[in-house]
C-alpha cells in the first residue's frame, strides 16, 4: 500500500511523511497537493498570534482538550519565524505541547523559518491543506508575534485570535494597525495579573472606533489559560464567530478569496521557476551583469529588454 493510500486511511505516519514532503517542496509535491485538494475544504481554521510569553501554546492546549472531548479531530501547527538570535527560546513550549500528541485525533507540527518569510506563510497554508485533506475538523495555528508572516498566516484562517497579557498595556497604542484589524477575538490571558483591566479598557476603546453595524463585534475574552479559566468562554466565542460568518456568507467569500490567493501564488511560483529556467540562469544574464558593472548598461533598462523577448508558455 503506498503512502497516499495509508494517508487516506488515517495513518499518522503517512500524514507526517506527506507533510514533510510538502514542507520540503520535494519533486512533484504540487502534483500531490492537486491530488488531495478535493478532499480538503472542511476543516475550520483558527489562527492565534500575540507576543512571546503570552501563553498561546497553553491556550491552544486547553482549547484542544475541549475540542477532543467533543470528538473533534484537531491539527495544530506552531509557526515560528524566530530570530536567529533567539533560535532556541520557544523550544520549551514545543516540548510541552508534545503531551497532546498522545491524545486521540490530535496532530502537532512545528514549522520554522526556512529560506524566506514568504515561503513560511506558503508552507503553512500547504500543510494546512494536508491536515484538512487528512480529515481534521479543526486546525489551530499558533504563531509568535514578530511581524508580517503571522499576519499573513493568521489572516488566512477563518477565525483570528490576538492574545495579549496585562503587560501589553504600554504597547497596544504603539501597535500596528494591521494587527488590530485582523482580530476576530481578543484574548487577555494571565488576566489575574495587574494591569488586566487597563488592557481590556484600551482594547475596548479601539473596538469602539472600529465597530460597525451589522458586522461581527469582536469580543474581548479574559482567560487564565494555565488554570483553565475562560477557555470554555473563548471556545463559545469561536463557535459564535463561526456561526456568524457561516450564515452571512463571509466564510464562503473568505474561502473563495483564499482560493484566488492560492491560485495566484501557484501561478506566480510556477512563473518564477520558468523564469529561472528560461532566462535568469542563462548566459545572457552574465553578459548583461558584466556590461552593467562596466557602466555600459543599467539593470532596469536591461530587464525591460529581456522581458520583451520572453514567452513563458510552452
Residue list 143-162, contact with a copy of itself (CB under 8 A): 145-149, 151
How many residues touch a copy of itself (CB under 8 A)?
78
* 254 sits in which H/E element: helix 250-275
Which residue do the cell numbers 475550520 mark? 44
Q: Does 21 bind a copy of itself (CB under 8 A)?
A: no
**CB neighbours (10 Å) of residue 126?**
20
Q: C-alpha cell of 3?
A: 503512502
Q: Is 193 in the site for a copy of itself (CB under 8 A)?
A: no
Q: Does 310 bind a copy of itself (CB under 8 A)?
A: yes
CB of 209 to a copy of itself, least distance (A): 18
Query: Does position 268 bind a copy of itself by CB under 8 A?
Result: yes
Please check whether residue 152 is in contact with residue 182, taking contact to mean a CB–CB distance below 8 angstroms.
Answer: no
Instruction: Write down the least CB distance from residue 291 to a copy of itself, Å.
Output: 9
Interface residue with a copy of itself among 13, 205, 236, 267 (CB under 8 A) is: 267
Q: Using CB under 8 A, which of 24, 26, 171, 246 touches a copy of itself?
A: 171
Q: Do residues 107 and 101 touch, judged by C-beta distance below 8 A? A: yes
Grid cell in block for residue 252: 464562503
Residue 115 gets the label, from left (phi > 0), alpha (psi -120 to 50) or beta, of: left
Task: Write down the residue that cell numbers 515561503 correspond to.
Answer: 119
Does position 183 interact with a copy of itself (CB under 8 A)? The reply is no
Nearer to a copy of itself, 148 or 201 (CB): 148
> Per CB under 8 A, does 28 bind a copy of itself?
no
Give the whole-angstrom CA distance, residue 184 versus residue 194. Answer: 25
Name 215's Cβ contacts closer than 8 Å, sequence gap at least 6: none
Q: Are 75 and 43 in contact (CB under 8 A)?
A: yes
For position 37 contacting a copy of itself by CB under 8 A, the verdict is yes
Q: Which residues contact residue 149 at a Cβ distance below 8 angstroms, ignoring those fewer than 6 apart?
A: 79, 81, 117, 120, 121, 143
Within 241-260, the residues that bind a copy of itself by CB under 8 A are 252, 255-257, 259-260
**Residues 77-116 contacting a copy of itself, CB under 8 A:** 81-88, 113, 115-116
Of 13 and 205, CB closest to a copy of itself: 205
User: Does residue 307 bind a copy of itself (CB under 8 A)?
Assistant: yes
Verify binding: residue 118, a copy of itself, rule CB under 8 A: yes
Assess 42 for contact with a copy of itself (CB under 8 A): no
Work out how close the CB of 41 gets to a copy of itself at its nearest, in angstroms, rounded to a whole number. 7
Amino acid at each position: 500500500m503506498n503512502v497516499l493510500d495509508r494517508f487516506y486511511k488515517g495513518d499518522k505516519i503517512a500524514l507526517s511523511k506527506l507533510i514533510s514532503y510538502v514542507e520540503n517542496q520535494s519533486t512533484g509535491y504540487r502534483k500531490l497537493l492537486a491530488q488531495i485538494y478535493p478532499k480538503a475544504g472542511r476543516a475550520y481554521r483558527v489562527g492565534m498570534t500575540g507576543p512571546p510569553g503570552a501563553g498561546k501554546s497553553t491556550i491552544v492546549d486547553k482549547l484542544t482538550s475541549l475540542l477532543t472531548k467533543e470528538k473533534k479531530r484537531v491539527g495544530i501547527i506552531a509557526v515560528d519565524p524566530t530570530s536567529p538570535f533567539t533560535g532556541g527560546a520557544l523550544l520549551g513550549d514545543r516540548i510541552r505541547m508534545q503531551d497532546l500528541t498522545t491524545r486521540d485525533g490530535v496532530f502537532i507540527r512545528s514549522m520554522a523559518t526556512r529560506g524566506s518569510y514568504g515561503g513560511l506563510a506558503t508552507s503553512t497554508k500547504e500543510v494546512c491543506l494536508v491536515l484538512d485533506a487528512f480529515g481534521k475538523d479543526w486546525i489551530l495555528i499558533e504563531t509568535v508575534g514578530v511581524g508580517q508572516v503571522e499576519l499573513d498566516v493568521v489572516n488566512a484562517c477563518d477565525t483570528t485570535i490576538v492574545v495579549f497579557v496585562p503587560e501589553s498595556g504600554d504597547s497596544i497604542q504603539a501597535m500596528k494597525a494591521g494587527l488590530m484589524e485582523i482580530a476576530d477575538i481578543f484574548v487577555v490571558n494571565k488576566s489575574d495579573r495587574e494591569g488586566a483591566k487597563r488592557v481590556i479598557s484600551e482594547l475596548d476603546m479601539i473596538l469602539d472606533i472600529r465597530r460597525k453595524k451589522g458586522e461581527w463585534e469582536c469580543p474581548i475574552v479574559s482567560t487564565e489559560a494555565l488554570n483553565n479559566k475562560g477557555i470554555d468562554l473563548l471556545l463559545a466565542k469561536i463557535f459564535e464567530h463561526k456561526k456568524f460568518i457561516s450564515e452571512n456568507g463571509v466564510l464562503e467569500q473568505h474561502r473563495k478569496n483564499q482560493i484566488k490567493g492560492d491560485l495566484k501564488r501557484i501561478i506566480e511560483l510556477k512563473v518564477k521557476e520558468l523564469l529561472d529556467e528560461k532566462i535568469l540562469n542563462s548566459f545572457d544574464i552574465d553578459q548583461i551583469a558584466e556590461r552593467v558593472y562596466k557602466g555600459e548598461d543599467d539593470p532596469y533598462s536591461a530587464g525591460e529588454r529581456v522581458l520583451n523577448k520572453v514567452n513563458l508558455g510552452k
